[in-house]
Chain A
Amino acid sequence: MEQWIVLALVLPLATSLLNMAQLTEQAIRRLNLTGSCLVSLTLLVIVYQVAVNGNIQAGQFYVDALSAVLLLVIAILTCTATLFSLSYMKLEIVQGHASLKMLKRYYILLNLFVFTMVCVPVVENMGLLWVAIEATTLSSALLVAFYFDRPALEAAWKYVMVCTVGICLALLGTILLYYAQVSADIGGGQALSWQALKAASGRLDPGMVKLAFVFILIGYGTKAGLAPMHTWLPDAHSQAPSPVSGFLSGALLSCALYAIIRTSIIVKGAVGPAFTEQFLTGFGLLSIVIAVPFILVQHDLKRLLAYSSIEHMGLITLGLGIGTPLAMYGALLHVINHAITKSALFYLAGAVIQHYGTKNILRIRGLVGAAPVMGALFVAAVLAIAGLPPFSIFYSKLTIVWAAFQSGSAWLGVIILLLMAAIFAGMIYYTLKLGFASAPRRVAASGYRPGKPAMAAIVVSLVLMAGGGIYLPAWLDTLITRAVAIMTGGGL
């Protein structure tokens, strides 16, 4: 069983290294497509093993249902991001924005990024979890700065500085947690072992655990893009190459949330759920509220999507904050749904930007007329992210709102619904402009079609979402239910 985990870690590293060899453009594409498909398959095998046979535990590795949910997200996104990259980078080279050397660098970094992200859910130890999360920042920093032009440099500098400072606070929190563990004399040699901490959380010093939680929440919350620590996010997401933006939005933010979830399970055991819930609800609500005005008045397509990510992270955090099993179920389902939909939307945005040569929403008009297939997909993806049925996001949003009403905080449910309505209006307004006015003549005549791999990546994502809305497979339902049981303090 654990050999699959090792394989999942070795494969992206190997693919990354192989990119350094003397390769032609064609060879690089084949290599990375093969590599990422293998990585995805391996991850899916792990998820399947966990769903069928239960947790995997070996040394520092530990995969339970909660990690499996995240691994599922990474598996899907690795595959679609690489697929989309094939067409995207090809066009970047044709348009002269990139060279063969840059292409190699891109894939080397992308695979390293996948490696660090796979590390996050498979380690068992709060300390190593910190190391893995910081590694995701560093491996993606040069991807954000990929074009090395002025805005990209600015975005990358802010990204590294804000996230590293934030994550230093998380390390401080982790040290305090370790101090609590050492003073309570728990777990012998298993320093910061998540299971040891969870099993003995009742004996930890409550004051110390509370202090640790605040630091850890601020630290990882910075990485997850929770307001008011979200300032790096719109810059980084808008400047990175589009496949990377999708990856950052879908998988990286979820990884940081995963770290928060892991910590809050221990903290709940030590000081009861009320303490963590107030913080999570507060940060979640604030993130949604802050995202609204920026979504309503936004001229940059990718920044619009970035703020939408902040909103969705806020919604998930809010779901965690409500704290009933139903809310947590909704939150986890929303993690998966958001990752798949938002990455597809970022890929589409990338294709649109390459087509029109601008990121300015006001100058992108008539997409449906100029590129019918892509336009239709774009409209569908926006409807999906805004939460319209039959797309699966509708159900996860509904679950969270429903849970809010059910848990007795009806006012919370009403506020969420109002904010969602405002965001829905904003997204649809821009989409109508972008999709249905008449296209500039130059663009309309070009008969542009994105490459087949790119279309495949987007179609697969949207089909998964539409399918997930109509039919949720039983194994996924079981997996999420088990993850929720872990989060509420039940079975390990």
Chain B
Amino acid sequence: MNVLIIILLFLALLLSRVTNLKTAVIILLGQSILVALACAIVAAETGAVHTYIAAALTLVIKAGLIPYALFRIVGMLRREREVNPILQPNYSAMVAGIMIVLAYGLTDKALPEIVSRDALAAAVAMMLIGLTMIMIRRQAVLQIVGLITMENGLYLVGLSVTQGLPLIIELGVVLDVMVAVVVLVILTYRLKRSFMSTDTSVLKKLKG
């Protein structure tokens, strides 16, 4: 489990530097597989059948359907990549580092006696890194990747504090995430068609 957490944190750090859309989606794919694996490990520890189902579900949707949809849209946006990021990669990696420290601090403060402290802190760090990605990246696809990273982090939080939510809720959450990605991919596709770009910094006409 600890190795898993280290790799997950490493991938999150890597994500904060990536400017190529395809690479970002590949990293996201790896991240989702690891999250499903973490879920399977918890399932093996607790022996609960419904956790195995949740792991399988995560694998199918987050490591299957969502990356598939993202790869398709990235294939369509061949020449797009993150240019003129709000923060240069070095700074953005530094922000991610700060987020990891912050996550450990917050976890120790809010839940001092929790058993799976490292897993929880890593999960919170993933959430925060996902959130910063949404805020400091301009490429639509990278924002979607940030959103899924945040979601994955949230999923790990649930896993590390309560061994996951009940199956029916888990089912609903995963379904919602999938629909969210579909909606966002449709919007990205339309952005490309009407703005000739998926750089969301063009979206600033509505004000006041």
| Separation of A173 and B154 alpha carbons in the complex (Å) | 10
Interface presence of B186 (CB below 8 A): yes
Find out whether the CB atom of A165 lies under 8 angstroms from the CB atom of B131.
yes
Find out whether the CB atom of B169 lies under 8 angstroms from the CB atom of A182.
no
Given A172-B127, A182-B162, A235-B206, are A153 and B187 also a contact pair (CB < 8 Å)? Answer: yes
Q: Which residues of A contact B200 (CB under 8 A)?
A: 157
Question: Nearest-CB distance from B34 to chain A (Å)?
Answer: 20
Interface presence of B11 (CB below 8 A): no
Within 8 A of A (CB), among B137-153: 140, 143, 147, 150-151
Given A142-B186, A161-B147, A168-B154, are A303 and B172 also a contact pair (CB < 8 Å)? Answer: no
Interface presence of A131 (CB below 8 A): yes
Within 8 A of B (CB), among A142-179: 142, 145, 148-151, 153-158, 160-161, 164-165, 168, 171-172, 175-176, 178-179
Question: Nearest-CB distance from B158 to chain A (Å)?
Answer: 5
Question: Nearest-CB distance from B128 to chain A (Å)?
Answer: 11
- B169, B179, B191, B208: the one contacting A125 at CB < 8 Å is B169
Interface presence of A134 (CB below 8 A): yes
Within 8 A of A (CB), among B149-166: 150-151, 154, 157-158, 161-162, 165-166
Find out whether the CB atom of B194 lies under 8 angstroms from the CB atom of A148.
yes
Q: Which residues of A contact B26 (CB under 8 A)?
A: none
Q: Which residue of B lies closest to A135 (CB)?
A: B176
Interface presence of A130 (CB below 8 A): yes
Given A172-B154, A191-B166, are A153 and B180 also a contact pair (CB < 8 Å)? Answer: no
| Separation of A142 and B172 alpha carbons in the complex (Å) | 20
Question: Nearest-CB distance from B53 to chain A (Å)?
Answer: 15
Residue interface mask B12-40, A partner, CB < 8 A = 1: 00000000000000000000000000000
Q: Which residues of B contact A153 (CB under 8 A)?
A: 187, 190-191, 194-195, 203
Residue interface mask B107-118, A partner, CB < 8 A = 1: 000100000000
Find out whether the CB atom of A211 lies under 8 angstroms from the CB atom of B206.
no
Question: Nearest-CB distance from B169 to chain A (Å)?
Answer: 3
Given A127-B166, A128-B172, A153-B187, are A175 and B158 also a contact pair (CB < 8 Å)? Answer: yes
| Separation of A135 and B150 alpha carbons in the complex (Å) | 18
Q: Which residue of B lies closest to A207 (CB)?
A: B110
Q: Which residues of A contact B154 (CB under 8 A)?
A: 168, 171-172, 175
Find out whether the CB atom of A161 lies under 8 angstroms from the CB atom of B205.
no
Q: Which residues of A contact B208 (CB under 8 A)?
A: 234, 294, 297-300, 303
Interface presence of B184 (CB below 8 A): yes
Find out whether the CB atom of A175 lies under 8 angstroms from the CB atom of B162.
yes
Find out whether the CB atom of B162 lies under 8 angstroms from the CB atom of A160.
no
Interface presence of A322 (CB below 8 A): no
Given A171-B154, A175-B157, are A128 and B169 also a contact pair (CB < 8 Å)? Answer: yes
| Separation of A56 and B184 alpha carbons in the complex (Å) | 37
Question: Nearest-CB distance from B8 to chain A (Å)?
Answer: 18
- A134, A161, A182, A238: the one contacting B143 at CB < 8 Å is A161
Q: Which residues of A contact B147 (CB under 8 A)?
A: 161, 164-165
Interface presence of A192 (CB below 8 A): yes
Interface presence of B5 (CB below 8 A): no
Q: Which residues of B contact A176 (CB under 8 A)?
A: 161
Find out whether the CB atom of A179 lies under 8 angstroms from the CB atom of B187.
no
Find out whether the CB atom of B173 lies under 8 angstroms from the CB atom of A130.
yes
**For A153, A156, A235, which residue has the most chain B Cβ atoms within 10 angstroms?**
A153
Find out whether the CB atom of A150 lies under 8 angstroms from the CB atom of B166.
no
| Separation of A27 and B164 alpha carbons in the complex (Å) | 47
Interface presence of A141 (CB below 8 A): yes
Q: Which residues of A contact B203 (CB under 8 A)?
A: 153-154, 157-158
Question: Nearest-CB distance from A216 to chain B (Å)?
Answer: 14
Q: Which residues of B contact A239 (CB under 8 A)?
A: 206
- A128, A141, A157: the one contacting B140 at CB < 8 Å is A157
Interface presence of A444 (CB below 8 A): no
Within 8 A of B (CB), among A98-157: 125, 127-128, 130-131, 134-135, 137-138, 141-142, 145, 148-151, 153-157
Q: Which residue of A lies closest to B203 (CB)?
A: A154
Q: Which residues of B contact A151 (CB under 8 A)?
A: 205-206
Question: Nearest-CB distance from B109 to chain A (Å)?
Answer: 10
Find out whether the CB atom of A141 lies under 8 angstroms from the CB atom of B183.
yes
| Separation of A127 and B143 alpha carbons in the complex (Å) | 26
Interface presence of B168 (CB below 8 A): yes
| Separation of A155 and B165 alpha carbons in the complex (Å) | 33
Interface presence of B70 (CB below 8 A): no
Find out whether the CB atom of B110 lies under 8 angstroms from the CB atom of A211.
yes
Find out whether the CB atom of B166 lies under 8 angstroms from the CB atom of A154.
no
Q: Which residues of A contact B103 (CB under 8 A)?
A: none
Question: Nearest-CB distance from B125 to chain A (Å)?
Answer: 14
Interface presence of B134 (CB below 8 A): yes
| Separation of A131 and B176 alpha carbons in the complex (Å) | 7
Within 8 A of B (CB), among A354-374: none
Q: List 7 A-B contacts (CB under 8 A).
A: A137-B180, A138-B183, A142-B183, A145-B187, A153-B187, A154-B206, A192-B165
Interface residue ranges, B against A (CB under 8 Å): 110, 127, 131, 134, 140, 143, 147, 150-151, 154, 157-158, 161-162, 165-166, 168-169, 172-173, 175-176, 179-180, 183-184, 186-187, 190-191, 194-195, 200, 203-206, 208
Given contact pairs A164-B147, A175-B165, A178-B158, enumerate 17 new A-B contacts (beta carbons under 8 Å). Answer: A127-B165, A134-B173, A138-B179, A138-B183, A150-B194, A153-B203, A154-B205, A154-B206, A160-B180, A160-B183, A161-B147, A168-B151, A171-B154, A175-B158, A178-B165, A297-B208, A299-B208
Enumerate the 9 nearest inter-chain pairs by beta-carbon distance, A residue then B residue, closest first. A131-B172, A127-B169, A154-B203, A191-B166, A134-B176, A235-B206, A179-B161, A175-B158, A138-B179
